[in-house]
Structure 1
Amino acid sequence: MILLDNVILGAEFHTVSAAETPFLIQQWVDNLNYRLSSAQTDEACYLAVNESHITFERIHPFSDGNGRTGRLLINYSLMQHDLPPVVTSSYKRTLYISYLAKEDGLGLSQFIQQESQVELDRIRRFQN
């Protein structure tokens, strides 16, 4: 079996090799689970989820769909911890991508918290 490395066209970094991917994904899962289990506040949970998201996107395990999968994993992790999901609007996509490119976990976490609050407000409007 021939393993081909994934690339992100236009990115200024290289993803990990195909050979490294299985180990790094297992390490990613273990790290995320550990950080979430020890998070004492919502802010710590958001930070753990979003720093892990950056790591996932850097590993880039699939040939296609990494962004969608990564954003789905953000929501899964948030909802597991009773936090509202997030929907990043297309007009804020550039800001989201800039946090990923700079590997700014704190900035991404604050951004996602704000977007999550917007979604919570939307959910509450539907409930009323």
Structure 2
Amino acid sequence: MISRAGGRSSVAAAAYRTAGRLRDERQGLEHDYSRKGGVVHSEIMAPENAPDWMCDRDQLWNAVEAVEKRRDAQLAREIEVALPRELDRGERLELLRGFVQREFVDRGMIADVAIHEGKARDGQGQP
């Protein structure tokens, strides 16, 4: 859970997860993780009826921060999954998109997705 009670910002979390650069309008801070390596893909998946601006990461997460006023607001949920290394990058992306679509987007939620690829202890990729 990304919550204000824990001192977290959804804008900062999104910037970190996607190795991007986002400005947190509520706090007046810029979160720049663009030099962070390992992110091979990121995208926002939204229901068909969602306004186009919700697919803009900066606008989306700043809107979440603006609408939630409480000190204990729950801003977002973070879900981490392991993808099979036996699949190639395209197959992993297809698998992840299908899962996110079925479990979240089809239920009316917006998902900010990022795929990270690091190295496992055995030296192979760890998506």
TM-based fold match above 0.5: no
Higher helix share: 1
Higher strand share: 2
Alignment TM-score, normalising by the size of structure 1? 0.24
- Give the structure, 1 or 2, with the largest relative contact order (CA under 8 Å, sep 6 or more): 2
Alignment TM-score, normalising by the size of structure 2? 0.24
